[in-house]
Chains A and B, each alone.
Chain A
Amino acid sequence: MGDFLQRIAIEPFKRFFDKVIQFLPNFLTSTLILIVGIVLGMALKGIFLRFFRAVGLDRVSERSGVIELLRKGNIRDSVSVLLSKVIGWVTVFIFAIISMRELKIPTVERLFESFLLYLPNVFVAALILLFGYLLGNFFGRAALIASVNAGIRFSGLIGKFVKFTVFILSATMALEQLGIGRETVIIAFAIIFGGIVLALAIAFGLGGRDIAKAYLEKKMKGEEKKDEISHL
């Protein structure tokens, strides 16, 4: 009876106790690292917030349109606050990962390894999206102004088309970076883009018949009265 009790209760309990004893230093180290990470994260957040404000990052971001982008995403924080928060959280996150590794649990280690390997893709995709948005705005505005100055009636449409094309292109690249439906995304993009171009070509062809006719007639029969103003 004593032997039986020893085998089914005391020995497993001892093994468990040994493991707990063995695990406890790792757990304490891990907790300590996490606490250090949280403290350091808070400190870095404060330091970077002051630094970003001192170098006038908010003014630059206001001019470059980043603020506009954030407001559209319903983010009310300034870029300085946002970036310093990100730096703080990234620090905490890194320390959290280190602390998890310190636990030396194989399943957790594998999980974090795959997550860490994927993480750069997420950052690159986010960057591609951000640049895509900024470039889309820039080229869209350039196209809008150029077409207005050329006197094209549907200038607004041209501006929007350019803006969204650039953004869709960047979204496609971002999805490809994330490895989500890699080929499907490229094919879908090609189909959509090709479709739009074809639709536009048909629309111009059908809708522009009269304009083309009028243009050719004007060319053949003589131009309308032109400005001879010398601006300089």
Chain B
Amino acid sequence: MDSIILRKEVQERIKEVKEVDILVGIPSYNNARTIGHVVKAVQAGFAKYFPDKKCLLVNSDGGSDDGTTEVVQNTTIEDFQSILLHYRVEPFFKIATPYHGIPGKGSAFRTIFEIAGVLNAKACAVVDSDLRSITPEWIELLIKPVIDGGFDYVAPLYHRHKYDGTITNSIVYPLTRALYGKRVRQPIGGDFGFSEKLAKFYLTKDVWETDVAKYGIDIWMTTTAIANNFKVCQSFLGAKIHDPKDPGADLSAMLHQVVGAAFDLMEIYPDIWKAIKGSEAVPAFGFQYAVGLEPVNVNVDRMMEKFKLGTKELSSLWKEFLSKDVLDFLCESQRLSKEEFRMPDNIWAEIIYSFAMAYHKKIMNREHLLKSLTPLYIGRVASFVIETWESGAEEVEDRIEELCMTFEDKRDFLINNWD
């Protein structure tokens, strides 16, 4: 893949900027509706919290045809006085460029890392372009721990609806925490801060032709930072409200990319995760407060249908690597009604670990294996929804904590059967 910084117009812009203190990257693809707000929040964040620093905003675009890049170029806060009492006078820099390589968020991030590396940005952050709830404070919260606290990686902490981020809650958070021993609550949150050292470290890795180039980038960034002993913290950013991620994206493809990236990382760092015992909290910054969140519609009946269909049709594939107990449970579930159905934590943890081992041992084609996880994941989400229908945010968080503990308790099952 060609480096983006070889492009003439980018080189010219880099020559003009020379060096920066802070860089914020925004990956985008057809986000004209929301990216203007994100650009303004970033600009206000620069002005309010880093008035004496040289700041750059980089928009790395995947070939949008809805005018996203034009929105980025043309958006600026004209009337700072209505937002801030004291504000910076000097302009901030902007680079909006298409990225090269496999279409996906990871390729967009690579471009951002490259520009950060060339300009020796001391602290960087990336924020999603579909955010509706981003405020200037997010920039401070993602950058300050790097500049003032000496942290290398700042993961986000949000208040999200109990049914928002279900891959995070049911797979990625419990798995990452159990494996690498750090309680990073939103390992694939999408909005991160990181140091110059970490950005340059990311660029040394040859992963840009894999699922990391797509939705796998978030889990890869978080795990790489933790597994390589970079200093990690979290910042509370408030509510996360965003447009749906690529509505056309197929769930099984998303699951394949995210879970595949997590399983690939397990193969890269086996000696590290096998040696971990328990888990520990990571420092958290920001003032935590409760927020009201928009309700989310859930069609549990349809989820149950998909789960039962998958169980009926795909059990013959799963029997090669799932234990008899799990298969018996799945068979039994066929007869249960929505009200009776629950997928216990220990069964779910065993399913994920068994899939990880099957992936490692290449028991079948890896894409088939991961895509066959979809109905089980839908079943688990349905069970979680049924169980927590009446629960408030705190109760739901407690349930997720219980699931994480189960994942930690079952680590021996994974370690003993890995090779």
Residues of A within 8 A of B (CB): 63, 138, 141-142, 144-146, 148-149, 151, 153, 155-156, 159, 224-232
Contacts and interface: CB of A to CB of B under 8 A. Distances in A.
Interface string B357-373: 00001111100100110
B164 A230 contact: yes
- Size range of the interface on B? 35 or more
Interface string B164-193: 111110000000000000000000101000
B281 interface: no
Contacts, number: 89
A1 to B, nearest CB: 88
A138 B367 CA distance: 11
Nearest to A155: B313
9 contacts: A63-B362, A148-B372, A151-B309, A225-B299, A227-B303, A229-B164, A230-B165, A232-B168, A232-B254
A232 B215 CA distance: 9
Given A148-B314, A232-B258, 11 more contacts: A138-B365, A146-B371, A148-B374, A148-B375, A156-B312, A159-B313, A225-B299, A226-B299, A230-B165, A232-B165, A232-B254
B166 A229 contact: yes
A141 B370 CA distance: 13
Contacts of A224: 299
Given A227-B299, A231-B254, A149 B368 contact: no
B296 A228 contact: yes
A145 B372 contact: yes
B305 interface: yes
B313 A148 contact: yes
A131 B313 CA distance: 25
A226 B301 CA distance: 11
A227 B166 contact: no
Given A151-B302, A227-B302, A230-B165, A144 B314 contact: yes
B168 A149 contact: no
Contacts of A142: 368
A-B pairs with lowest CB-CB distance, top 5 = A149-B252, A228-B297, A231-B167, A228-B296, A149-B374
B317 interface: yes
Given A145-B368, A145-B372, A232-B190, A227 B168 contact: no
B298 A149 contact: no
Contacts of A151: 302, 305-306, 309
Interface string B113-155: 0000000000000000000000000000000000000000000
A205 B33 CA distance: 42
A161 to B, nearest CB: 14
A138 B305 CA distance: 25
**Highest count of chain B CB atoms <10 Å: which of A141, A149, A225, A227:** A149
A12 to B, nearest CB: 72
**Highest count of chain B CB atoms <10 Å: which of A145, A151, A225:** A145
Contacts of A159: 313
B163 A229 contact: yes
A69 to B, nearest CB: 14
B91 interface: no
Given A63-B362, A138-B365, A146-B371, A228 B245 contact: no
A229 B296 contact: yes
**Highest count of chain B CB atoms <10 Å: which of A145, A151, A227, A231:** A231
